[in-house]
Chain A
């Protein structure tokens, strides 16, 4: 892998400049100083072997997300209480590590951290992208560990594990033990029973047969008692709640087969089907295990994304400033927020004035000017000047926390489709139980000694094993495919809902657009003057505070102007007029151009333009330039939406934005979105979606900000884009790991395909059950045949589902 790609990250090398380092005895080229520094650190630490054995390229070593100074915040004892377990001198924590791409990374990290004195244990789990670290708190600090990791190109963070993760892990281990036991025992019992079935020459003495039965009984007992315990418990819970579920016939079949097998062995007469019980339990457990595992994995990945980044603040005390954690701030404290920093909590400005970006909360991309006396909200970004703020509410009571509260309420009210499936299953189970008992009654009355075995064959043959596998295996395969496309699915059942989505709603800023303005189309009366015109526009617009004016700022620099504009008059919200070089210029909205001016009465004739201009420049009453300035749409979004509307004509598209109607309309026109809805608060977005749902619409919402969190929780399918805030990701069912919406059309197609596969699976499983039922009821089918048939049916279902993994969109 030499030549034109970076040795570290395998990305193409930039043409301009390369960086070099000596690795594995050769001079290697790197794409950026970051990769070069990481490779040098790896070589210096004697860990070059990593490059020899890795199977995947490393991610590009970008500049660190946190500056080392901020890493020391993680050493705060109070903060550590949340994620570090301390025992005497040893601390233990689990970190999520960004950048692990293959098993060699695990080795690299373990070796690198093992060099720090005071480290007791490092265990990297490559599959989970996590590392368990134990260290002596008197010898080293967490910040040292984190900065060492950063040296070799990995970012480690404490994270917020899901509430249920610990119990999921226990369940996972339990499943593995039960499954292993059932598997091992099935093999043994099968071996013993094969002797029975294939004893065609009749060489086995009846004593030996009895002996085999006893051994098989001995081996089956732990499977029935231990491995099957989950089914009985679930059946018992369902019966106690006055309903039936799939586990009820399973439990009955297992108990009947085991009980009669036990009786037959005891009385030394009759048939035994021990191998059938073991295999039955093994296969059923397998399907539950697959389902559980995919859910557990999704939970881990999404927990990894909820990084624990402490918000810090500079608190003013006795005339000096000290760094402090945001959660320790109390009402009445005074804090200083520098330009470019997040305002940690709600408060009132007491000194300074600045522009504050409240897009996170309101979706409004235009920064708001805050002067002393104005209220500012936690979670918003201070853009331009230093602000001194008096804290009004602690972190727990700030607006951001209230939005989170709104989101949690929405989660509780969410409509569920799952209930219907449960209802269907219980009818199915009732039918099975009814048929089984009728069969037993019929054969018993007819005096058939095989009545019990025929009933068991009915229960096993109609066992919803393949039915149970139909959905989870298809969903798991689809999720595996989507993971490779950079899509993370947190709740697999949404895949079934996606197909039914009737309205796709987008948040604007951050999801469709980048949130900054740029020139999209331009027209000049004289194309040759373009540079000069832009320079003049820039010089005049320098006087404006309007967000659209900021676009021209970049043309101000580097241009040579004879003099500065004078006699500047600003009409708020409309435009500016000024004199420059003895000419009179007007720049502003089309309405401003047409408005009567006191100085000159002529108003310019607007030419017909190929685009809708929203900023125009006139010189002495003659229009000389026009621009369309809008929020820049993210790369690729237009093609994604074009594909979407083309493939799914019936789906309605909408924008739900907190921004002004004007900006939203502009984006909607460019992207051909049907319903642009603007100026919505987080609660209004939530209302809008609830109204749609009340009309029976199935809504998919895509968003990224804190303000989208409540509506994401309410939507039937919620998607958060990669650059989104943690709270948006926490509320979403689906997370796009990269920033673009490229995966969206694929999501729809794979969900349609998944539904198709699930239907095929159901058709097969039900068809098989229906066909086999008469055979079982009439007593032709032995229980062992029923089990073999059931297994084959299950295998067909699994193979059909795995077709989704190789799916090409």
Chain B
């Protein structure tokens, strides 16, 4: 049974990580809209070339910020 003395602190650490992840998710507003993102997977994400260009541009600007 002595393995419990190792496993329980390990569980506590994992719980700590889970709480930290949850707090981060709340802060980054992931719980604000529970409907929208669930649908993203249904849609094609192949963009036509001109849109791809705009999206890349946007990504570049985001990275710069």
Contact = CB atoms under 8 A, between A and B. Distances in A.
A102 B38 CA distance: 12
Contacts of B62: 120-121
B3 interface: no
A126 B38 CA distance: 11
Given A120-B58, A176-B31, A49 B44 contact: yes
A107 B43 contact: yes
A180 B9 CA distance: 20
B39 A106 contact: yes
A103 B11 contact: no
Interface in B1-55: 1, 4-5, 8-9, 11-12, 15, 18-19, 22-23, 26-27, 31-36, 38-40, 42-44, 48, 50-51, 54-55
A121 B58 contact: yes
Contacts, number: 86
B54 A125 contact: no
Interface in A52-111: 52-53, 102-104, 106-107
Interface string A166-204: 000000010011001100110010001000000000000
Nearest to A125: B33
B27 A114 contact: no
Interface-central residue, A49, A52, A107, by most chain B CB under 10 Å: A107
A104 B54 CA distance: 22
Interface in A336-382: none
Contact of B35 (A115, A121, A126, A188): A126
B55 A114 contact: yes
Is the contact region of chain B dominated by helix, strand, or loop, or is it mixed?
Answer: helix
Contacts of A121: 58, 62
A173 B30 CA distance: 10
Interface stretch (A211-219, A398-406, A596-604, A771-779): A211-219
A124 interface: yes
A185 B11 CA distance: 11
Contacts of A329: none
A499 B44 CA distance: 52
Contacts of A184: 15, 18-19, 22
Is the contact region of chain A dominated by helix, strand, or loop, or is it mixed?
Answer: helix
A180 B26 CA distance: 10
A117 B26 contact: no
A125 B37 CA distance: 9
A128 interface: yes
Contacts of A173: 26-27
Contacts of A185: 15
A107 B4 CA distance: 49
A709 to B, nearest CB: 32
B46 to A, nearest CB: 10
A208 interface: yes
Contacts of A120: 58, 61-62
A107 B39 contact: yes
Contacts of B42: 49, 52-53
Interface string A120-161: 110011111000000000000000000000000000000000
A188 B11 contact: yes
Interface-central residue, A49, A115, A218, by most chain B CB under 10 Å: A115
Nearest to A130: B33
Contact of B12 (A104, A114, A115, A218): A218
B54 A49 contact: no
Contact of A177 (B15, B26, B48): B26
B55 to A, nearest CB: 7
Contacts of A181: 19, 22-23
Interface string A712-748: 0000000000000000000000000000000000000
B15 A115 contact: no
B19 A215 contact: no
B39 A125 contact: no
Contacts of B19: 180-181, 184, 222
A124 to B, nearest CB: 6
Given A107-B43, A126-B35, A119 B1 contact: no
A114 B51 contact: yes
B35 A127 contact: yes
B53 to A, nearest CB: 9
B39 A188 contact: no
A46 interface: yes
B33 A127 contact: yes
A53 B39 contact: yes
Interface in A429-473: none
B2 to A, nearest CB: 10
24 contacts: A49-B42, A103-B35, A106-B33, A106-B36, A106-B39, A107-B40, A114-B51, A114-B55, A119-B54, A119-B58, A120-B61, A125-B33, A125-B36, A126-B36, A127-B36, A176-B31, A177-B26, A180-B19, A180-B22, A181-B19, A181-B22, A181-B23, A208-B4, A215-B12
Given A49-B43, A107-B43, 17 more contacts: A52-B42, A103-B38, A106-B33, A117-B54, A119-B58, A120-B58, A121-B62, A127-B34, A176-B31, A177-B22, A177-B26, A184-B15, A184-B19, A188-B11, A208-B4, A211-B8, A215-B8
Closest 7 CB pairs of A and B: A103-B39, A106-B36, A125-B33, A103-B35, A126-B36, A126-B35, A53-B42
Interface of B: 1, 4-5, 8-9, 11-12, 15, 18-19, 22-23, 26-27, 31-36, 38-40, 42-44, 48, 50-51, 54-55, 58, 61-62
